[in-house]
Amino acid sequence: MTKFSELNLDPNVLKAVAEAGYEAPTPIQEGAIPPALEGKDVLGIAQTGTGKTASFTLPMLTRLATGRARARMPRSLVLAPTRELAAQVAENFDLYAKHTKLTKALLIGGVSFGEQDKLIDRGVDVLIATPGRLLDHFERGKLLLTGVQIMVVDEADRMLDMGFIPDIERIFQLTPFTRQTLFFSATMAPEIERITNTFLHAPVRVEVARQATTSETITQKLVEIVPPRKDQTAKAKRELLRALIQAEGEACTNAIIFCNRKSDVDIVAKSLKSHGFDAAPIHGDLEQSQRTKTLDAFRDGKLQLLIASDVAARGLDIPAVSHVFNYDLPSHAEDYVHRIGRTGRAGRLGTAYSIATPSDDKYLAAIEHLVKITIPRVEVPEGFTLSEATLREPKKYDEKEGGRSSSSSSRSGSRTRSRTRSRDRDESLAAPVVEPVLAEAVVETPVVEAPKREERRDERREERRDDRRERDRSRPRDRDTGPVVVGMGDHVPDFLLRPFRPSKPATVTEEVEETSEG
Partner DNA sequence: AAAAAAT
Rule CB under 7 A: which residues touch DNA? Answer: 81-84, 108-110, 129-136, 139, 161-164, 260-263, 283-285, 309-311, 331-332
Q: How far is the CB of 500 from DNA (least distance, A)?
A: 27
Q: Which is nearer to DNA, 284 or 381 (CB)?
A: 284
Instruction: Compute φ and ψ for 282, nearest 5 degrees.
Output: -145, 125
Closest approach of DNA to the CB of residue 323, in Å: 20
Distances 195 to 57, 162, 373 between C-alpha atoms, Å? 22, 15, 33
CB of 288 to DNA, least distance (A): 8
CA distances from 207 to 47, 78, 164, 181, 184 (A): 10, 20, 23, 16, 10
Q: Based on CB atoms, which residue is closest to DNA, 52 or 133?
A: 133
Alpha carbon distance 99, 83 (integer Å): 26
Closest CB 357 distance from DNA, rounded Å = 14
DSSP string for residues in 156-216: HHHHHHTT-HHHHHHHHHHS-TT-EEEEEESS--HHHHHHHHHH-SSPEEEE-PPPPTT-T
Q: Please, are residues 354 and 221 in contact by the beta-carbon 8 Å criterion?
A: yes
Between CA 165 and CA 158 the distance in angstroms is 10
Q: What's the DSSP call for residue 72? A: T
Q: Judged by CB, which is closer to DNA: 21, or 163?
A: 163
Q: Which is nearer to DNA, 134 or 218 (CB)?
A: 134
Closest to DNA by CB, 270 vs 400, is 270
DSSP 226-295: --SSGGGHHHHHHHHHHHHHHHHGGG-S-EEEE-SSHHHHHHHHHHHHHTT--EEEE-TTS-HHHHHHHH
Q: Between 108 and 430, whose beta carbon lies closer to DNA?
A: 108
Q: How far is the CB of 483 from DNA (least distance, A)?
A: 20
Say if strands 42-45 and 204-207 run parallel, antiparallel, or are unpaired: parallel
Please choose, from the candidates 335, 296, 336, the residue with its C-alpha nearest in 3D space to the C-alpha of residue 318: 296
DSSP character at residue 479: G
| Element containing residue 150 per DSSP (H, E) | strand 150-153
Expressed in angstroms, the distance from the first to the final Cα of the chain is: 64
Query: Which of 227, 297, 233, 301 has its CA nearest to residue 267?
Result: 233
Distances from the Cα of 471 to the Cαs of 476, 482, 489, 499, 504, in angstroms?
5, 12, 14, 12, 13
CB 86 → DNA: shortest distance, Å? 8
Nearer to DNA, 163 or 413 (CB): 163
Task: Kindly state the smallest distance separating residue 134's Cβ from DNA, in Å.
Answer: 7
**354, β-bridge pairs:** 222, 326
Q: Closer to DNA by CB, 72 or 83: give it.
A: 83
Closer CB to DNA, 84 or 125, in the complex: 84
The nearest distance, CB 171 to DNA, in angstroms, is 12
Nearby residues of 481 by Cβ (< 8 Å), 6 or more positions away: 463, 467, 470, 471
Give the residue with the Cβ less far from DNA, 167 or 449. 167
Which stretches of 288-339 are assigned E, i.e. beta strand? 305-308, 323-326
**Shortest CB 286 distance to DNA, Å:** 8
Provide the minimum distance between the beta carbon of 314 and DNA in the complex, in angstroms, as a whole number. Answer: 10
- Residues with Cβ within 8 Å of 16's Cβ and at least 6 positions away in sequence, in order, are 95, 96, 97, 98, 99
Closest distance of CB 59 from DNA, Å: 25
CB closer to DNA, 310 vs 427: 310
